[in-house]
Chain A
Amino acid sequence: MDLVKMERGAPIDIWDAFEGLRGEMDRALDALKVPDSAGILDLSVAPAVDVIETEEEFMVVADVPGLRKEDLEVTITGTLLSIKGEKREEKDSEKRRYLREENRPGSFRRTIDLPPRIDPERIAAELRDGILALRIAKREEAKTKTITVSPK
């Protein structure tokens, strides 16, 4: 530790330092907040997602086992794609005696910012064997074009 000569007449308030630290911590915790979630456990059910770009389109593939079509909501706002899902509590589940529970009911929301080259008007969704596959077309001008050079 350095030895600093204390200035006379300016007493150091050590609590100032703690005030600053508290502000830092508040900001760090705010950054962890997930919109539309009820608690930290919601994060664990957010599905794993792949985003693949091909020449013609973007594909977004998400694992959503156990979810039916009506449990899913896909929206697109500008380039922001949002997948919302709810794994419902099954009926008669209170009669069960769980020995192990790794797939609990709950809701999730996953938001993916897609590149600006997408055409949000042309999007197709398919659900098969617990996998949600979205195909989002590219805007015409964003597609790779081959220009043929014609001889003079």
Chain B
Amino acid sequence: MNARNEVRNRVVKVPACSVFEEGEVVVARLEMPGVPKEGLEIKVDGNELAINGAKREEKTEGRYLLRERRHDAYRKLFTLDDTIARDRIEASLENGVLTLRLHIKEAAKPRRIEVS
């Protein structure tokens, strides 16, 4: 059974995700249970924001009586529009939930024009 596990393909899951606007910040929240900070990779390439998370290896010895968790990794892609500042993306990981805070470019924020 162990030999079979070694050749088994990695099962990649799309994490459950919420996106909301909070003032001038866009927040994305992704559920990635089992992913340690070291297993996380967040990349911005042009308009694409790619999030990859590898789960910490779990002990597989023993017999499964019930198996509903079959994924080893998570992957999610977002397309960023021009208003998002590429260099101001903050990430934090807590209790298996990744929170990304995407800031809006200064130039894209609504500007108030004083009427003299």
Interface residues of A in 89-114 (CB under 8 A from B): 92, 95-104, 112
Residues of B within 8 A of A63 (CB): 31, 33-34, 69, 96
Cβ A129 vs Cβ B18 within 8 A: no
Cβ B33 vs Cβ A51 within 8 A: no
Cβ A53 vs Cβ B63 within 8 A: yes
Cβ A48 vs Cβ B95 within 8 A: no
CA distance A130 to B21 in the complex (A): 24
Cβ B32 vs Cβ A130 within 8 A: yes
Cβ B68 vs Cβ A96 within 8 A: no
Residues of A within 8 A of B36 (CB): 129
For B29, give its contact among A48, A61, A103, A131 (CB under 8 Å): A103
Of B42-50, B54-62, B106-114, which binds chain A?
B54-62
Asked if A54 is at the interface (CB within 8 A of a chain B CB), the reply is: yes
Q: 0/1 per residue, A70-96, Cβ < 8 Å to B?
A: 000000000000000000000010011
A129 with B34: in contact, given A65-B97, A66-B96, A66-B97 (CB under 8 Å)?
yes
A103 with B16: in contact, given A50-B69, A51-B65 (CB under 8 Å)?
yes
CA distance A108 to B67 in the complex (A): 19
Residues of A within 8 A of B58 (CB): 61
Interface residues of A in 34-53 (CB under 8 A from B): 48-53
A98's closest neighbor in chain B, by CB?
A: B20
Residues of A within 8 A of B97 (CB): 65-66, 103, 130
Asked if B1 is at the interface (CB within 8 A of a chain A CB), the reply is: no
B2 to chain A, nearest CB (A): 13
For A103, give its contact among B17, B21, B22, B69 (CB under 8 Å): B17
Identify the 9 closest CB pairs spanning chains A and B, nearest first.
A130-B96, A130-B33, A54-B62, A65-B96, A65-B31, A48-B68, A51-B66, A96-B20, A102-B16
A-B contacts, 8 listed (Cβ < 8 Å) = A48-B69, A51-B67, A52-B63, A53-B64, A96-B20, A129-B96, A131-B33, A131-B34
